[in-house]
Amino acid sequence: MKVAGLTALITGGASGLGAGAARVLSAAGVRCALLDRNLDLARELAAELGGMALGCDVVDGPGVAAAIAEVSAKLGTPRIVLNAAGIDVAIRTAGPKGAHSLEEFERVIRVNLTGTFNVARLAAQAMIALPPLNEDGERGVIVNIASVVAQDGPIGQVAYAASKAGVQGMTLPMARDLAPHGIRVVTVAPGMFETPLASGIPQAWIDSIIPTIPFPKRWGKPLEFGALVRQICENPMLNGEMIRIDAAIRMGIDRA
Ligand X SMILES: NC(=O)c1ccc[n+]([C@@H]2O[C@H](COP(=O)([O-])OP(=O)(O)OC[C@H]3O[C@@H](n4cnc5c(N)ncnc54)[C@H](O)[C@@H]3O)[C@@H](O)[C@H]2O)c1
Known catalytic residues are 160
Judged by CB under 6 A, which of 1, 6, 9, 37 binds ligand X? 37
Check residue 15 for interaction with ligand X (CB under 6 A): yes
Interaction between residue 198 and ligand X (CB under 6 A): yes
Q: Binder to ligand X among 30, 36, 124, 158 (CB under 6 A)?
A: 36
Q: Tell which positions 96-125 bind ligand X, by CB under 6 A.
A: 111-112, 115
> By CB neighbour count within 10 A (0-12 exposed, 13-18 middle, 19+ buried), where does 67 fall?
buried
Residue 229 and residue 35: Cα distance in Å, rounded?
Answer: 17
Q: Which is nearer to ligand X, 35 or 182 (CB)?
A: 35
- Other beta carbons within 10 angstroms of residue 32's beta carbon come to 30
Which residue among 85, 143, 170, 229 contacts ligand X (CB under 6 A)? 85
How many residues does this entry show for the chain?
256
Return the range that interacts with ligand X (CB under 6 A); candidates 1-9, 53-61, 68-76, 206-214: 53-61
CA pair distance 251, 248, nearest whole angstrom = 10
Query: Minimum distance between the CB of residue 136 and ligand X, rounded to whole angstroms?
Result: 29
Half-sphere exposure of 123 (CA within 13 A, CB side): 34
Contacting range for ligand X; rule: CB under 6 A; set: 51-59, 72-80, 92-100, 171-179: 51-59
- Residue 16 within binding range of ligand X, rule CB under 6 A: yes
* 72 contact partners, CB below 8 Å, separation of at least 6: 78, 126
User: Which residues have C-beta within 8 Å of that of residue 228, sequence separation ≥ 6?
Assistant: 188, 243, 245
Cβ atoms of 8 and 25 closer than 8 Å: yes
The residue (of 17 and 182) whose beta carbon lies closer to ligand X is 17
> Closest approach of Cβ 196 to ligand X, in Å?
4
Task: Tell which one of 1, 8, 9, 14 touches ligand X (CB under 6 A).
Answer: 14
Which one among 1, 8, 25, 58 touches ligand X, defined by CB under 6 A?
58
Shortest spacing between CB 155 and ligand X, in angstroms: 17
Q: Is 171 in the site for ligand X (CB under 6 A)?
A: no
Over the window 207 to 236, marking each residue x when it contacts ligand X by CB under 6 A and - when it does not, the resulting string is ------------------------------
Q: Taking the complex as a whole, how short is the minimal distance between the CB of residue 131 and ligand X, in angstroms?
A: 30
Chain residues that interact with ligand X, rule: CB under 6 A: 11-12, 14-18, 36-38, 57-59, 84-88, 111-112, 115, 145, 147, 190, 192-193, 195-198
